[in-house]
Amino acid sequence: MMRRPSMIALQMAGEPGGAAPPPIPLWQDYLSLAALLTSPPPELRFVIPGLLSGALGLLVSAGGQGKSMLALEIAASIAVGRDVFGVLGENPPSGRVIIVAAEDPADILAHRLHALVKSLTPEERAQFVDRVRIKSVLGQGWNLGTWSGQAFVPSVGLSVLASEIEAWQPSLMVVDTFNRTLAGMSENDNAIVGAIASEIERIIAPTRTAALVLHHVNKGAALAGQGDVQQATRGASALTDNARLQINLVGMSADEADARGVLAEDRRQWVRMVWAKSNYSPPRGDQWLRRLPGGVLGADDPPEAMVSAPKERKGGPRRRKVGGDEVDARIPW
Amino acid at 22: P
In the DSSP assignment, the letter for residue 58 is E
- Confirm whether 37 is domain-assigned: no
Residues 64 and 82: their CA atoms lie apart, in Å, by 26
Does residue 97 belong to any structural domain of this protein? yes
CA-to-CA distance for 205 and 199, rounded, in angstroms? 10
Q: Is residue 90 part of a domain?
A: yes
Task: Tell whether 327 is covered by a domain.
Answer: no
* 16 occurs within a structural domain: no
Q: Is residue 317 part of a domain?
A: no
Cβ proximity of 55 and 245 under 8 Å: yes
Domain span including residue 57:
46-299
Specify whether the CB–CB gap between 199 and 181 falls below 8 A. Answer: no
- Cα dist from 294 to 53, 66, 291, whole Å: 31, 11, 8
> What residue spans of the chain are helical by DSSP H?
7-14, 33-37, 67-80, 106-117, 122-131, 156-168, 190-204, 219-223, 238-242, 254-260
Cα 69 from Cα 190, distance rounded (Å):
29
Q: Taken in order 30, 35, 37, 43, is the CA torsion positive or negative?
A: negative
> Cis omega (within 30 of 0) on the bond before 177?
yes
64-107 pLDDT tens trace: 999 999 999 999 999 999 999 999 999 999 999 999 999 999 99
pLDDT band, very low/low/confident/very high, at 1 (cuts 50, 70, 90) = low
The pLDDT of residue 5: 54
Assigned domain for 1 exists: no
**Beta-sheet strands, E only, within the chain:** 46-48, 51-52, 56-61, 97-101, 132-136, 145-147, 152-154, 172-176, 210-216, 245-251, 270-278, 287-291, 297-299, 318-322, 325-329
CB atoms within 10 A of CB 159: 12
pTM for this structure? Answer: 0.85
CATH number, domain at 88?
A: 3.40.50.300
| Band of residue 7 on the pLDDT scale cut at 50, 70, 90 | low
Mapped onto helix, strand or coil, the DSSP state of residue 257 is helix
Phi, psi dihedral angles at 44 (to 5 degrees): -80, 135
Contacts of residue 271, Cβ cutoff 8 Å, sequence gap at least 6: 61, 65, 66, 249, 250, 251, 252, 288, 289, 291, 297
* pLDDT of residue 258 exceeding 70: yes
| Among 204, 280, 246, 205, CA closest to 41 | 280
Q: How many structural domains compose the chain?
A: 1
Range 196-219 average pLDDT: 97
Instruction: Kindly state the average pLDDT of the residues 268-276.
Output: 96
Please enumerate in sequence order all residues whose Cβ is within 8 A of that of 224, keeping only pairs 6 or more positions apart, or say none.
none
Looking at the domain assignment, is residue 222 inside a domain? yes
Torsional sign, CA 197, 199, 205, 207 = negative
Q: What is the pLDDT of residues 121-138, one digit of tens each?
A: 999 999 999 999 999 999
Q: What pLDDT does residue 286 have?
A: 95
The values of phi and psi at residue 164, to 5°, are -60, -45
- Of the pLDDT bands very low, low, confident and very high (cuts 50, 70, 90), residue 222 is confident
Give me the torsion for CA of 151, 157, 161, 163, rounded to 10°. Answer: 90
Query: Is pLDDT of 333 > 70?
Result: no
